[in-house]
Amino acid sequence: MNETNLKSIIEQVIRELNVADEPSKANVSACPLNETTCDVPEITAYEMENYFEVPSAENKDAYLNYKKSTHARVGIWRAGPRYTTQTMLRFRADHAVAQDAVFTDVSDELIEKYGWLKLQTAVTNKDEYLTRPDLGRIIDDESIALLKAKAKASPRVQIYISDGLSSTAIEANGYDTYKAMEQGLKSHGIEVGTPFFVKYGRVPAMDHVSELLGAEVTVILIGERPGLATGESMSCYMIYKGKVGNPESLRTVVSNIHKNGTPAVEAGAHIADIIKRILSEQKSGVDLKL
């Protein structure tokens, strides 16, 4: 093969590659060099179940139908052994959302707005919270005094809110879920104790709260560990006559409370019915058959 033929083949390959790249280039808006701002598409503006980049899929309709059932990253594509730029940028953006959910605190303004007492566990900062889970299971002395002075003693149901591993989840879902629970329990004729917020809380802190207040049923709304699908997922744990040292099997849980899972208001109404059942049967966790 002479040099002229080789050059002709290379030029043909380059032309074909340029044609194949044209559709994706059309979706990218470049900033003129003399402009300081320009319109760049928001990398998180679309849902992952609507994102599909597999070229020449044998059964695209079946693939898209499958994607409707999961937030997992299926139907993405690659450049050689690596992610495409779009896929990689979205991965980094979703990872940043998850990190923010863990490392950002629920704002004091929000806690004051909803009229929640603000308590704290024995944890003093976020680093300690992540490395000393044992300290997140007990309420600190100052908060114990505040709880005994301000909160209603021996309530039938004590509901409280805690940041857990996602402040974002609480800000997005905490209040709406709580109000739906409160209204649902009221319709069942069940009294609810004083609402409060516990900073740096772990799930077993509810056992300490239960002992301190003498609640018949203790309920915690707490931020779940965030993932790449969402940073807004919240869980609700319930226990009948909780005591420090309870096995985890005695807790009843409703998880995945967020806009793409079980919406906050719907979850709150469902949880109220479960609490009614716990009170009626006087048991929770694996002993409660739902």
* Cα distance between residue 220 and residue 159, in whole Å: 6
Rounded mean pLDDT of 219-247? 92
Q: Is residue 263 pLDDT above 90, yes or no? A: yes
pLDDT category of residue 194 using cuts at 50, 70 and 90: very high
The domains of the chain are located at 27-103, 108-287
Residues 6 or more apart whose CB falls under 8 angstroms from that of 220 comprise 159, 160, 161, 162, 201, 203, 205, 206, 209, 236, 237
Q: Is residue 90 pLDDT above 90, yes or no? A: no
Q: Residue 28's pLDDT is what? A: 42
CATH assignment of 27-103? Answer: 1.10.30.40
Q: Kindly write down the DSSP assignment for every residue of 212-261, as one continuous string.
A: HHT-SEEEEEEEPPP-SS-S--EEEEEEES--TT--GGG-EEEEEESTTS
Q: Does domain 108-287 have CATH number 3.40.50.11240?
A: yes
- Paired with 131 in beta bridges are none
Answer for the pair 87, 76: CB distance below 8 angstroms, yes or no: yes
Residue-wise pLDDT tens digits, 72-83 = 888 888 888 898
Instruction: Write down how long the chain is.
Output: 290
Mean pLDDT score of the chain: 87
Q: In what order do the strands lie in the sheet with 117-120?
A: 117-120, 196-199, 157-162, 217-223, 234-240, 252-257
Q: Residue 30's pLDDT is what? A: 47
Answer for the pair 84, 76: CB distance below 8 angstroms, yes or no: yes
More confident position, 184 or 47:
184
Q: Is residue 217 pLDDT above 50, yes or no? A: yes
What's the pTM?
Answer: 0.79
Residue-wise pLDDT tens digits, 161-188 = 999 999 999 999 999 999 999 999 999 9
Q: Is residue 5 pLDDT above 90, yes or no? A: no
Q: Residue 24's pLDDT is what? A: 40
